[in-house]
Structure 1
C-alpha cells in the first residue's frame, strides 16, 4: 500500500489519491507522446484537485523536470545552445523575482490565477512563433520563468520562443526540452531556498517520473487508435471542466 511506505506516508494523501496521481502521470505523458498535446497542463489540472497550489507548483516542476531532462539528454546533440544561453539568463532573473512574490500569495488566489491560465491555454490561439534575437530570448526566459512560479506549465510560451530557432524538428524538441529542464530546475532551487520540503514528496515524485517515462514510451502505441480530432475536443472539454471547478474553489476561498 503506497500510503504506508516511508516516502509516501508523510504526504497526507490517501491511497486512492496517490495511485490516481501516479497513474495520471503515465497517461498525461502518453497524451503528449501520441498527440503533442499539453500533458503538463493536464497533469497540473489533475494535481490541483488534491494538492494546494503552493505545493503543487514545485511538485509539478520536479516531475516535469524529470520528463524534460530525459528527452533533452537523448537529443542533446541537436540543442541550440545560443538560444539556451540567453534564455537561461532571463530565466534566472524571472525565477528570482517570482520566488519573492509567490510565497506571499494565498492559495485561493493562486488557484484563480492557475485556473484562468489553463482556460487561456485551452481556448486562446497559441502563437506559432515569437520573432527576435538574444534579447527577446532572454526576455521570454524571464517572463515565462516568472509565470512558471505561479502557474507551472509555461511550456506553450517557451515552445513559441523556440519555434523558428532550429532547422529541424529534433532541434526544436531538444532545445525546448533543455529550456524547460533549466526553467523547472531553477524553480525547484527557488522553492527549496524558501523552505519547501521536497523530501516529504520524494516517493510520489519518483513514482510519477517513472510512470511518466513509461507513458512516453508506450503512449503512442496505445492512443494512436483513437480519432485525434474527436480526442482533442473531448480533451479540451475535460480541461475546461477541471479549470472551472478550480476557479470556483478559488473564488469560494477568497469570499
Structure 2
C-alpha cells in the first residue's frame, strides 16, 4: 500500500475509489449527478484545503475519459464560446481572495436548476455559451461541482442522449482543466495526492465504461425523464443543505 496523504485514512481511500466508480457510472448513464455525489462524499473524508483542487483533477480525468469514449457524438458548436467564458470565470475566481458563502451558492444553483426543469431553459443558456462558461467556472472555484449548472446549458441544446452526455463531458473537461491550472498556479501541491488521484480516475473510467452499456439501452424519452428527476432531487438536496447550514 502506498503512502496516503496526511489526513486521509485507508478506509477513506477505498471508499472514495468505490464512490468514484459509482459517480462516473451515474453520470454517463444519466448525464449528470456523479460530480455532486463525489464532492459530497469527499467533503466528509478529504481535508478541506485539498477538497476542491483534488475533486477538480479527478473530475477532469473522469470527464476527459467520458468525452473520449463518446467522441463522435460531441456537438462542438458551443465549445469556443464556453472555453472563453470558462477562462474568464476561472481567472476571476482565482483572483478573488474571499470565499463565497457556500449556503448562498447551494440555494442559488438549486433554485435555478429546478426552474430550468419545469420551465423552458432561458434563451441565454443556449445563445450565450460564453456567459454560461464564465458564471459556472467562477462558481466552480468556490463550490466545486457545477455540473448541474452546465447540464442545463447542454439540455437547452436539445441533443439526443449520447450527444448530451458527450458534449456535457467535453464542456466539463474544459472547465475542470482550467480550474486545475489556476489552483496549480496558486501553489496547491498536487504531487502529494498524485497516486490517490490516479486511482480515483481509474475507478471512474471503469464506471464510465460500465455506465455506457446502460446508456446504449435507454431511449431518449427515458433518458430525459431520468435526467429531470435526478436534477430535481439533487437540487432539492442543495437547497436543503444551504438552508440548514
Q: Which residue of 2 aligns with 1:137?
A: 129
Q: Within the alignment, does 1:150 sit opposite 2:136 as a pair?
A: no
- Contact preservation (8 Å) 2:22, 2:207: yes
Aligned twin of 2:35 = 40
Aligned to 2:189: 197
Change (3 A) 1:25 1:113: farther
2:114: which partner in 1? 124
| 2:35–2:145 CA contact under 8 A, matched in 1 | yes
3-state DSSP class of the match of 1:141? helix
State the shift of 1:72 in Å: 1.5
- Distance, in Å, in 2 between the alignment partners of 1:217 and 1:81 is 22
State the alpha-carbon separation in 2 of the partners of residues 140 and 118 from structure 1. Answer: 13
Q: Pick the structure with greater CA Rg.
A: 1
Out of 137, 158, 172, the position equivalent to 2:164 is 172
| Superposition TM-score, scaled by structure 1 size | 0.75
Q: 1:208 aligns with which of 200, 221, 228?
A: 200
Q: What do the CA deviations read for 1:167-197 (whole angstroms, capped 9, x no partner)?
A: 5333332221111100000000000000111
In structure 2, C-alpha distance between the alignment counterparts of 1:114 and 1:60, rounded to whole Å: 18
Shift of residue 113 of structure 1? 5.1
2:86, 2:136 within 8 Å by CA — same for their partners in 1? Answer: yes
SS, match of residue 163 in structure 1? helix
User: How many residue pairs get matched?
Assistant: 231
Q: Comparing 176-185 with 152-161, which one deviates more in the overlay? A: 152-161
Kindly indicate whether the alpha-carbon contact (under 8 Å) linking 2:8 and 2:47 is maintained by their aligned counterparts in 1. no
Distance in 2 separating the partners of 1:111 and 1:164 = 26
Contact residue 117 and residue 151 of structure 1 kept, 8 A: no
Q: Identify the residue that residue 83 of structure 1 maps to in structure 2.
A: 78
TM-score, with structure 2 as normaliser: 0.78
- SS of the counterpart of 2:123? coil
User: Which stretch of structure 1 is more off in the superposition, 61-70 or 126-135?
Assistant: 126-135
Distance 1:247 1:194 in 2: 31
Rounded to whole Å, the distance in 1 between the matches of 2:93 and 2:123 is 25
Contact 1:94 1:144 in 2 (8 A): yes
Partner in structure 2 of residue 63 of structure 1: 58
Structure 2: gaps spanning 5 or more residues: 218-224
Q: Would the aligned equivalents of 1:91 and 1:138 in 2 still touch at CA under 8 Å? A: yes
Q: 1:13 to 1:147 in 2, by over 3 A?
A: same
Q: Root-mean-square deviation (CA), in Å? A: 3.5
Structure 1 residue 159, shift from structure 2 partner = 1.9
Conserved 8 A contact 2:126-2:157: no
